[in-house]
Structure 1
Amino acid sequence: MAPFTPFPPRPPRPTQAPSFTAALTALLLGEGCAGCGAPGGRVCAECADALAPRPHRCAAREGCPPAWAAGRYTGADRALLLAYKHRRIRSLSGPLAARLAGAARVAAPRAGPLLLVPVPARPRGVRRRGYDPVALLARRAAELLGTPARPVRAVRALRQVRAVADQVGLGRAERYGNLRGALAARPDRLARAGCRRVLLVDDVLTTGATLAEAARALRAAGAAVHGAAVLAERGRRAASRSLYPQSGKDPPTLVHRRLCTRIRQVGKGPHLTSAG
């Protein structure tokens, strides 16, 4: 007869699971997935799958040209875009540009030369990052889209002519008022490009105020704005919420949530409750 044991033996821990220390180190040092924080690389397989373009027609917005988005501003889509813009992970420009190109193919299916014109970033943001994130995506997307039969070029044909307030937290009417008259076209660059057919490019579509102002400025210079392609469309309900600060870093609550997720996944340490 087997001896009585009050508790069954504890099963051995899986040897393949990463330790809490390794997961924490990867997260804090930026060695994990930019989308979910999983250690092992910049983008894990699941988040890479989420980056596959799934273009959809955006809801109509006042004054905004017809727009197509590669995805929604949620989940891994949002996390990877924020990592690219605010954590300056430029290695994400390749997969994000491929995603943007997928939306551009649907937004401008007709053959013929095409200009991708990015919405310009604020000068302060360009100085902080050292580059314009949307302009870089537009250039790389143009390289993917262009063929000998259909040349596609990215042209920075817009410039900001006056300072604007931070758009985060502003409502639709406030955004339109904030941006009205803030952009102007660069006719010399349009002339050198030898093409007037334009597809606007931006990262996130919220109220449509930015694209409306960009289209107005380009049309005033004689360009034919065919439409717009964006990486993500932000839902109406989420448009009034401030989801991240313009500080170049992840907000503390986002870091906390990702850290708690990793703690639960590796099965070590206490199950913390996320704040916020």
Structure 2
Amino acid sequence: MRGLWREFAGLVLPVGCAGCGRPRTELCEECRRSLCAGGGQTAGRRRGPRRVRPSPAPPGLPRVYAAAAYADAVRAVLLAHKERGALALAAPLGGALAGAVRGLQAGPGPLLLIPVPSARSAVAGRGHDPVRRIALAAARELRRGGSGARVLAALRQRRAVIDQAGLGARQRQLNLAGALEIAGACRLLDGGRVVLVDDLMTTGASLAEASRAVRAAGGRVTGAAVVAASPGAFEINWN
């Protein structure tokens, strides 16, 4: 019900650009382009999805591609979608995520996008599941390009975890270790190219744990794709 109200409110109330505040548009063209900037805006490199890796990288982290650096307009747009319920932003965010998936060059065969799950309490508090919503938009965009992509919401939390905010890289790894599992969809993983998807990568702990859970269920993780990653995680900053 809360999600439906937010969608209705977005149609009838005046809005400003979620990225820069420009009036009478939910997302201006400049901020829309920033969602596909790769590390270009921060790192001075070409636009488009880029390989990212946190430092230190957690054990078991697969290849990860990001559409943009988590800064400025990109940060504002992601927060508007996740925390303020600007649900119409799922489409451009999904388009950016689809670009990151393409960057993996995963090869032929069925493509399964598996979202990293949020805690049930977080989903209930927000009134929607932002990562799943973005993943569904990404799958639609990929299908328009001829890919057989679909979303498989197969991961779930098997035990409670504490809020990750304020935790360091090692603390996040310990907090998430063994926290995820595949729920009742193991047979669907056979032969599919699994791409883990999330809205944001910081330390990589969530993606590493998701990869472990999929592999434990017999799945083959091709890589991971995110809308945004910390600016320091882009290739140009690797040692």
Compare 81-90 and 61-70 and name the one that shifted more: 61-70
- Listed one character per residue, the Cα deviations across residues 37-64 of structure 1 (whole Å, up to 9, x for unaligned) are 1212111232122123520000262221
User: In the alignment, which residue of structure 1 is the partner of 2:192?
Assistant: 196
Q: Deviations over 1:6-52 (max 9, x none)?
A: xxxxxxxxxxxxxxxxxxxxxxx762111111212111232122123
Residue 3 of structure 1 corresponds to none
Query: Structure 2 counterpart of 1:160, which letter?
Result: Q
Preserved contact between residue 108 and residue 227 of structure 1 (Cα < 8 Å): no
* 1:58 corresponds to: 52
Q: Check conservation: 1:206, 1:235, Cα contact below 8 A.
A: no
The separation in 1 between residues aligned to 2:26 and 2:137, in whole angstroms, is: 19
Corresponding position of 1:114: 111
TM-aligned CA deviation for residue 219 of structure 1: 0.3
Q: Label 1:148 to 1:55 Cα distance change in 2 as closer, same or farther (>3 A).
A: closer
Q: Which of the residues 126, 137, 140 maps onto 1:143?
A: 140
Q: Which residue of 1 aligns with 2:229?
A: 233
The answer for the alignment partner of 1:245 in structure 2 is none
Amino acid at match of 2:21: G
The AA in structure 2 aligned to 1:33 is C
Alpha-carbon spacing, 1:200–1:124, altered in 2? closer, same or farther (3 Å): same
Residue 129 in structure 1 maps to residue 126 in structure 2 = yes
CA distance in 2, matches of 1:132, 1:67: 22
The answer for the alignment partner of 1:162 in structure 2 is 159
Residue 195 of structure 1: how far off its partner (Å): 4.1
Query: Corresponding residue for 1:79?
Result: 76
Q: Which residue is 1:41 aligned to?
A: 25
Measure the CA separation in 2 of the matches of 1:189 and 1:220. Answer: 13
Runs of at least 5 residues in structure 2 that lack an aligned partner in the other structure: 1-12, 38-47, 234-239
Letter of the structure 1 residue corresponding to residue 180 of structure 2: L
- Of 176, 190, 194, the match for 2:173: 176
- Please tell me whether Structure 1 or Structure 2 has the larger radius of gyration of its CA atoms: 1
Decide whether aligned partners of structure 1 residues 147 and 97 sit closer, same or farther in structure 2, where only a CA change above 3 A counts.
closer
Contact 1:117 1:156 (C-alpha < 8 Å) held by counterparts: yes
Number of the residue aligned with 1:206: 202
Residue 176 of structure 1 and its aligned partner are, at CA, apart by: 0.3
Q: Tell me if 1:217 matches 2:213.
A: yes
Contact map agreement 1:100 1:230 (CA 8 A) in 2: yes
Kept in 2, the 8 Å contact 1:71–1:77? The answer is: yes
Whole-angstrom distance in 2 between the partners of 1:128 and 1:40: 28
Contact 1:116 1:153 in 2 (8 A): yes
3-state SS in 2 of match to 1:88: coil
Q: How many matched pairs? A: 208
Q: C-alpha distance in 2, partners of 1:40/1:149?
A: 34
Q: For 1:224 and 1:207, locate their aligned partners in 2 and report how far apart those are by CA, in whole Å.
A: 22
Higher relative contact order (CA 8 A, sep 6+): 2
Amino acid at match of 1:47: C
Aligned residues: percent identity?
47
Distance 1:164-1:77 versus aligned 2 partners, 3 A rule:
same
Contiguous gaps of at least 5 residues in structure 1: 1-28, 238-276
Does the CA contact (< 8 Å) of 1:56 and 1:68 recur in 2? yes
